Amino acid sequence: MRPLFPFRIEVRPQPSTSMVIGVSLLAILAAFLVSGLILQAYGMSSVRDYGVVLQETLGSPQGIAEVVRKTIPLLLAGVGLALAFRAQFWNIGAEGQLLAGAVAAAGVALFAPIPAPWLLPCMFVAGFVAGSLWGSLPTLLKVKVGVNEVITSLMMNYMALYSVQWLIYGPWKGKSMRGFAYTDPFPQAAWLPLIPGTRVHWPTLIVGLTLALGITFLLSRTRLGYEVRVLGLNPEAARYAGIDGARVTLLVMLISGGAAGLAGVGEVAGIHHKLLGPTQISLGYGYTAIIVAWLARGNPLAIILTSLLVGFIFASGDVAKVALRIPVQIVEVLNGLILVFLIGSERLLSYRVRWAPASPPSLPRPSTSRPLPPGEGEGGDGGDGTSDLQHTPDVERL
């Protein structure tokens, strides 16, 4: 409890679902108000522009489809990160694991002599395995040597980025490449089917929803899920209970990295149909998925909603750049404001402010002791300079 006159800040108990939703909506509204001021300063009409964005994203089937398309990689990577975070393993490397999955899928599509009916399943398996292996190195460094996983997983993102660039400019360079680097197109059998009239690759969407349900079941109904929860709540208690923390962490990261790898498969097989530059494959999905998992408070089912929310923010940015011709820098600022307000609102869920005015000062209580009669001073002085002891009969006889 911290005093903040005339208020008092207290730790809030577990917030209710309605409170989480209400605070998040208020944070989004506040972000829109601040963004409106920025648009007004730029000489634009915020009310009209917001109407255009809503109409182009949520007011048409094509707009809703684009929101869902942006949601798919966030859903896959976010579910994997939520599992890692529940085990207190801070995986910041989903971006690199996504790119590793994209590279593995591209390698299978371009070079593996696999019959057409089995090509897409093999691409998904390869992407999952590649993401898992890419995430296993920071895990082994953590459990065997004690190296901080935040640093190693973050650095491996850059290793994956430059590996993709080396491949598309070097050994995998496409024969028809002009300008931007890319590989040869995938064969038709390596293209994911789409919902007609959209760019939503529905097999990856089904995989993402299934994974969210599966991780929820794993955490609540399996022994591994119990070990993950205990390890995340109290590593010492997990050790005393006989739980092998290294084994659990490695298994968790194999699943987490594999989920991000599946997101990479969906992007190259469902959207681009070739391996491109890393910033074209992923628009920062791996980093943004951290926010998605955090806003969901580690709940895999809630990630379905938070990924839709962030997917809407991404799609709105695209509309603002194309339909409203807002510079990309301002669009990034507006998107960042919404995320900052959402993250900041989490503190309102962790603490509450209560009115606690200072109480008036209490008056001193009146003394109930009997006053000393005149002549009785301190130290038993009888008034004539002699001690009370000297006036006792025993002393006079002496």
pLDDT tens digits along 193-250? 999 999 999 999 999 999 999 999 999 999 999 999 999 999 999 999 999 999 999 9
Cα(335)–Cα(330) distance, rounded to whole angstroms?
9
Contact 117, 185 (CB under 8 A): no
Residue 217 pLDDT: 97
Which of 191 and 350 is assigned the larger pLDDT? 191
**64, exposed or middle or buried, with CB in 10 Å at 0-12, 13-18, 19+?**
middle
CA distance 281 to 272: 8
Asked whether residue 256 is assigned to any structural domain, the reply reads yes
Asked, for residue 198, whether it belongs to a domain, the answer is yes
- The answer to whether position 189 is within a domain reads yes
pTM, two decimal places = 0.84
In a domain, 159, yes or no: yes
298 and 86 in contact (C-beta within 8 Å)? yes
Read off the CATH number of the domain in which 94 is found.
1.10.3470
204 inside domain: yes
Q: Are 249 and 271 in contact (CB under 8 A)?
A: no
Answer yes or no: is 185 within a domain: yes
Per-residue confidence (pLDDT) for residue 9, from 0 to 100: 75
Lowest mean pLDDT segment, chosen from 23-37, 137-151, 190-204, 298-312: 23-37
Structural domain contains residue 88: yes
**Rounded distance, CA 249 to CA 136, Å?**
10
Domain that holds residue 139: 75-317
What are 131's two structure tokens?
Answer: 């993401």
Domains: count for the chain: 1
Domain membership of residue 162 (yes or no) is yes
